[in-house]
């Protein structure tokens, strides 16, 4: 068997097609973006080497990038401090066994499978000034002639795109936590109960520490997902009004495909890759100790 499974020609037939497609259409383009980011280039003319100045320009000359970056961090903050706690609490409640547990799980997860284009189009209408669902509710509760166009006011436009982003993936993170909690051995809880620990105490002393690896993954997913976010904002505001709701990815898209600033746009693209990588590493580091403690338990 080893002789057959070690034969080079078989290995080549099984691996090479996948590997070549992946290298050619994912890895090489990624590296190319990295290279473009060091040049001034418009796609047809000569490429001028600039070193890192495209990256410096992001923070010194770009009128929109710092604000776009700030927006992506606001989204990340909302995901981490609003979405994840909601998901976690839901998972805790559901994992203790509630009537209709399975139905709740199914319902929370529905928005996850819907395309962000549909979610965006739908929430655009929810935030409409005249017939939007939100204003209809506000009118029902108080001022009868309340009118406010959430998506066309610079102050609220970006925050209005944060709401569906948080809304859509609550069920996703809930399910990750739920699966994690369910995989914890009931022995721990029994032992704690015998020792007289309250439910709240077992949550903090047993559930959360044992879930460290799962919490780490969901943190990385929601942080990197926020930093690279594009679809919802592109659909709902297109970065407007007057660039108030831009994120790095929407600026990048404009620079690449509307202004043909291939070098500069690539720097923005590669910046997103780098920050995702760096934050993933940082979170991994922060959790290293927590995970080591778990293995001691």
235-294 residues in contact with another protein (CB under 8 A) are 235, 249, 252-253, 256-257, 262, 265-266, 269-270, 272-273, 276-277, 280
Query: CA dist 81 to 85, 132, 181, 228, 288, Å?
Result: 6, 27, 20, 18, 21
Q: Which long-range contacts (CB under 8 A, 24 or more apart) does 3-7 make?
A: none
x-or-dash pattern for another protein, window 45-84, by CB under 8 A?
----------------------------------------
Stretch touching another protein by CB under 8 A, among 67-75, 154-162, 187-195, 217-225:
217-225
Minimum CB separation from another protein for residue 246, in Å? 14
Q: Does 93 bind another protein (CB under 8 A)?
A: yes
Q: Does 221 bind another protein (CB under 8 A)?
A: yes
Q: Does 115 bind another protein (CB under 8 A)?
A: yes
The residue among 2 and 145 lying less far from another protein, judged by its C-beta, is 2
Q: Does 98 bind another protein (CB under 8 A)?
A: yes
Interface with another protein in residues 176-195 (CB under 8 A): 176, 179-180
Q: Does 42 bind another protein (CB under 8 A)?
A: no
The residue among 10 and 49 lying less far from another protein, judged by its C-beta, is 10
- The sign of the dihedral angle between the CA atoms of 186, 191, 193, 199 is negative
Q: What SS3 class is residue 144?
A: coil
User: Around Cβ 187, how many Cβ atoms within 10 Å?
Assistant: 8
Q: Which long-range contacts (CB under 8 A, 24 or more apart) does 149-153 make?
A: 151/124, 151/127, 151/236, 151/237, 152/240, 152/241, 153/241
Please pick, from the candidates 171, 181, 236, 254, the single residue that binds another protein as defined by CB under 8 A: 171
Q: Does 130 bind another protein (CB under 8 A)?
A: yes
Minimum CB separation from another protein for residue 60, in Å? 23
The residue among 43 and 154 lying less far from another protein, judged by its C-beta, is 43
* Backbone angle region of 197, left / alpha / beta, with phi > 0 → left and psi within -120 to 50 → alpha: beta
Cα separation, 172 vs 218, in Å, equals: 9
* Backbone angle region of 143, left / alpha / beta, with phi > 0 → left and psi within -120 to 50 → alpha: beta
Let me know: does 228 contact 251? Beta carbons within 8 Å.
no
How many positions of this chain bind another protein (CB under 8 A)? 93
The residue among 93 and 290 lying less far from another protein, judged by its C-beta, is 93
Minimum CB separation from another protein for residue 120, in Å? 9
Q: Does 224 bind another protein (CB under 8 A)?
A: yes
């Amino acid at each position: 068997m080893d002789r057959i499974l070690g034969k080079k020609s078989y290995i080549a037939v099984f691996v090479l097609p996948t590997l070549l497609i992946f290298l050619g259409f994912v890895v090489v383009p990624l590296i190319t973006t990295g290279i473009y980011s060091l040049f001034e280039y418009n796609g047809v003319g000569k490429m001028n080497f600039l070193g890192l100045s495209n990256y410096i320009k992001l923070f010194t000359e770009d009128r929109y990038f710092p604000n776009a970056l700030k927006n992506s961090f606001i989204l990340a903050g909302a995901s981490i401090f609003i979405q994840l706690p909601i998901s976690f609490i839901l998972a805790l409640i559901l994992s203790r066994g509630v009537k209709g547990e399975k139905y709740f799980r199914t319902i929370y997860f529905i928005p996850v499978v819907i395309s962000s284009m549909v979610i965006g189009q739908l929430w655009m209408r929810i935030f409409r000034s005249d017939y939007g669902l939100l204003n209809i509710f506000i009118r029902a509760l108080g001022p009868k002639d309340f009118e406010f166009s959430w998506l066309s006011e610079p102050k609220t436009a970006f925050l209005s795109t944060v709401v569906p982003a948080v809304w859509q993936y609550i069920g996703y993170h809930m399910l990750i936590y739920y699966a994690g909690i369910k995989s914890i051995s009931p022995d721990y809880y029994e032992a704690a109960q015998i020792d007289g620990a309250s439910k709240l105490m077992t949550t903090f002393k047993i559930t959360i520490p044992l879930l460290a690896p799962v919490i780490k993954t969901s943190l990385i997913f929601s942080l990197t997902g926020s930093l690279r976010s594009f679809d919802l904002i592109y659909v709902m505001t297109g970065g407007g009004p007057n660039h108030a709701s831009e994120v790095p990815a929407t600026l990048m898209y404009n620079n690449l495909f509307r202004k043909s600033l291939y070098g500069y746009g690539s720097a923005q693209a590669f910046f997103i890759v780098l920050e995702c990588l760096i934050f993933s590493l940082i979170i991994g580091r922060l959790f290293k100790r927590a995970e080591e403690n778990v293995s001691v338990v």
